[in-house]
Amino acid sequence: MGKGSRSIKLLSVIPINLLLYSVLIIPFALMIYLSFVSYNPAAGYNWWQAPFIGLNNFYNALKDQRFLEAMGRTALFVTLAVGLEFFLGLVLSILMLGEFKGKKIFTSILLYPLMLPWVVVGSTFYLIYQNYGPINQIFLKAVTGSAPNTAWLANSTSAFLAIITADLWQWTPFMFLILYSGLSTVPKRLIEAAEVLGASSRQIFWRIRLPLIKPLVYIAIILRGLEAFKIFDTVYIMTGGGPGTTTETISVYIYKLAIVYHDISYAAAVSLIVLLIVGMVSWYAIKVLMK
C-alpha cells in the first residue's frame, strides 16, 4: 500500500459511522424503547414512565388486519408502480436512442416532475382527478362527448390507480434517466462490432445494450422500490388513505397511528416490523441480483 492509505481508510470509516450513529442511533433506540412500552401522549404520564409491556405491540401488529392489508396494498403498489416505471423508462430510452429533433425539449418535459416538491404533485393530481377537474371535463368529454360524473378519488380501485399515475408521472423520469444514460454510453465499438457481425438494431439492443447495464438497472429498481414502499405525501394529499382505508399505504397507516390516534408505541412496533421485512427482502434481492 502506498502512503496515505491509512488516512484514507480512516476517513472512509469514521465520518460515516459518526454521522449515522450520532444522528440516528439515539432516536432509533428511543423508538425501540417505545415499541416495548405502552405509551400514549394523551394518557397523562411521561414517556419515560410508560409501563413495559414486552412484545405485546408486536403480537398485536401481526394480528392487525388493517396492518396486514396496508402491507399487502403497499407491496402491490410498489410492484405495479416500479414495474410500470421501469417499463415506461425503458420504452422512453429506446425512443430517445433514435435521432430526432427536439430531443432536449422532450427530455426537459419528461424530467420536470422530478424537480417539484412532492406535496405540490399531490395537490395538482388531487385537483386533476376531481369531479369537475380536467379528466372528466376535458379529456373524457372530448373522447366520449359528455363529461361523466365519476369521482375518481371516491372509488377505491380508481383512487388506487390515480395514485399510481401520480407516482408514475413523478418517478418514471428517474428510471428513464438512469436507463438512458446507461444505454447511450455503451462503447460505440461494441455496437459496431455487433453490427458488422450481422445484428439488427433490435438484436443489438437486447443482446448488447441491455445486458451491459444490468447492474445499473438493479440498483435503480432497488432504490426506487425502497422509496416507493414508503410513499406518503401523494397518498395523504390525494386520498388521505381513503375512501375508508382502501388506499392506505403502510406509511399512511403508521402516520395515522402515531399522529392521529396518538398510539405511538404501537406505531413504533409496526414501523420496526416493516423495517425488518423490507430489510430482509432487499438484502435477499441485493445478494441475488448483484453478485
Partner 1 sequence: MKMDNVLKRTVNYLLIILVSIVWIFPTAWMVSLSFKPYEEWYGSNFIPNKFTLTNYQALFYPEEIFKTVMGRTALVASIINPLINSAIIVTVATFLAVVIGFITVYGAIRYKTMGVFSLFFTLMTRMLPPATFLAPIMVYYAFLHLLDTQLGLILLYSTVTVTYAIWLLKGFIEQIPPEWEEAAILEGASNWQVLRRVTIPLAKGGLVVSFFFIFIFNWTEFLFALVLTDVNAVTLTVQVGKYVGSIGQLFGIQAALGILSSIPPVVMGYIIQRHLATGLTFGKVR
Partner 2 sequence: MEKLVVKHLTKRFKDLVAVNDVSFEVNEGEIFSLLGPSGCGKTTTLRCIAGLEKPDAGEIYLDGQIINDLPPRKRNIALVFQEFAVFPHMSVYDNLAFGLQVRGAEKKEIDSKVAHVAELLDLKGILQENAGKLGISWKQRIAIGRALVIEPKLLLLDEPLTLVDAKIRERMRSELKRIQRESGITTIYVTHDQQEAMMLSDRMAVMNKGLLIQVGAPEEIYDNPKELFVANFIGSPTMNFIEGALCTESGSLIFKANSGYSIILSKEPEHFISKKVLLGVRPEYIKVHRKGDNNYLKGHVEMIEASGYRFLYHVKVGNDLIVVSSRPIEGITVGSELWIELPAEKICIFDTETGKKVRW
Q: Which residues of the chain form contacts with partner 2 (CB under 8 A)? A: 187, 189-190, 192-200, 203, 207-208, 211-212, 214
Q: What's the min distance (Å) between Cβ of 23 and partner 1?
A: 4
Q: What's the min distance (Å) between Cβ of 182 and partner 2?
A: 13
**Binding site partner of 1, from partner 1, partner 2, none, Cβ cut-off 5-8 A by kind:** partner 1
Query: Do the beta carbons of residue 213 and residue 243 sit within 8 Å?
Result: no
Grid coordinates in use for 148? 361523466
Q: Which is nearer to partner 2, 161 or 191 (CB)?
A: 191
Q: What's the min distance (Å) between Cβ of 205 and partner 2?
A: 12
DSSP 35-88: HHB---GGGSS-GGGPPB-TTHHHHHHHH-HHHHHHHHHHHHHHHHHHHHHHHH
Q: Which is nearer to partner 1, 152 or 229 (CB)?
A: 229
φ/ψ region of 99 (left if φ > 0, alpha if ψ in -120 to 50, else beta) reads: beta
Q: What's the min distance (Å) between Cβ of 243 and partner 1?
A: 18
**Binding site partner of 207, from partner 2, partner 1, none, Cβ cut-off 5-8 A by kind:** partner 2
**Binding site partner of 80, from partner 1, partner 2, none, Cβ cut-off 5-8 A by kind:** none
Grid coordinates in use for 125? 393530481
Q: What's the min distance (Å) between Cβ of 18 and partner 2?
A: 38
Q: Which is nearer to partner 2, 142 or 197 (CB)?
A: 197
Q: Which is nearer to partner 2, 69 or 195 (CB)?
A: 195
SS (H, E, C) 107-169: HHHHHHHHHCCHHHHHHHHHHHCCCCCHHHHHHHHHHHCCCCCCCHHHCHHHHHHHHHHHHHH
Grid coordinates in use for 47? 414517556
